């Protein structure tokens, strides 16, 4: 469905719940995988997806419908992930294992991860990136988003997003070459 069709349903008498259910149905899978690429864990991604939709439901009456639902929801989800990662990092400040390494290690222990050795290595290298850079890399590389859309989601500009993606790509490429892939 288009944003306009969902908006029409939302603004019709008694259509708010139906419109929200359509939003959840339309965006759940993409948002889940976006969150999963940022936090690396199925359980955490699932929790963050629920938080994203709860925040969206509360904020929907104030949504102006001028921006796309897609970028609005991605912004909420990304901010949820960044907040979660920041809390995790602070909560594990005294751990001997860096948080990024633990993120990467979750993949190996995750029964939901179905990738091969190369995919695992790629995901582990992505997990080593700083949060914002990981988000940019994931949105561009895995989800094939346009730089302009990523910039809207992250409240940035396309040139900064391109530069960050390029840097992330080079880091991952270097790490994969060093590992013999």
**Local confidence band at 160 (pLDDT 50, 70, 90 cut-offs):** very high
**46/51 Cα distance (integer angstroms):** 9
User: Is the pLDDT reported for residue 102 higher than 90?
Assistant: no
Share of the chain above pLDDT 90, in %: 66
pLDDT tens digits, one per residue of 5-44 = 999 999 999 999 999 999 999 999 999 999 999 998 889 9
Contact 152, 136 (CB under 8 A): no
Contact 128, 175 (CB under 8 A): yes
Query: Which of these ranges, 24-28, 71-75, 116-120, 155-159, has the smallest mean pLDDT?
Result: 116-120
| 149 half-sphere exposure, CB direction, 13 A CA radius | 16
Q: What is the pLDDT of residue 127?
A: 85
CATH number for region 3-178:
1.10.1740.10
pLDDT tens digits, one per residue of 36-73 = 999 988 899 999 999 999 999 999 999 988 889 999 99
The mean pLDDT of 77-97, rounded to a whole number, is 81
**Local confidence band at 117 (pLDDT 50, 70, 90 cut-offs):** low
The mean pLDDT of 120-132, rounded to a whole number, is 85
The mean pLDDT of 122-132, rounded to a whole number, is 86
Q: Quote the mean pLDDT of the chain.
A: 87
Alpha helices, DSSP H only, in the chain? 3-11, 16-39, 42-59, 69-91, 99-109, 117-127, 131-137, 147-154, 158-178
**162/160 Cα distance (integer angstroms):** 5
Q: What is the pLDDT of residue 111?
A: 56
Q: What is the pLDDT of residue 120?
A: 73
């Amino acid at each position: 469905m288009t944003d306009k069709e969902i908006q029409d349903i939302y603004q019709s008498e008694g259509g708010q719940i139906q419109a929200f259910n359509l939003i959840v149905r339309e965006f759940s899978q993409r948002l889940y995988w976006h969150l999963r690429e940022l936090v690396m864990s199925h359980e955490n991604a699932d929790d963050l997806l629920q938080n994203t939709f709860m925040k969206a439901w509360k904020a929907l009456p104030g949504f102006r419908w001028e921006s796309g639902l897609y970028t609005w929801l991605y912004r909420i989800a990304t901010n949820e992930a960044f907040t979660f990662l920041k809390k995790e990092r602070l909560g594990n400040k005294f751990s001997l294992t860096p948080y990024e390494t633990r993120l990467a290690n979750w993949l190996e222990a995750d029964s939901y991860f179905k990738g091969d050795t190369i995919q695992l290595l790629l995901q582990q290298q992505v997990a080593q990136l700083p949060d914002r850079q990981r988000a940019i890399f994931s949105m561009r590389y895995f989800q094939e988003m346009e730089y302009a859309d990523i910039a809207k989601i992250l409240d940035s500009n396309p040139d900064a997003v391109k530069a960050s993606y390029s840097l992330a790509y080079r880091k991952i490429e270097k790490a994969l070459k060093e590992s013999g892939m």
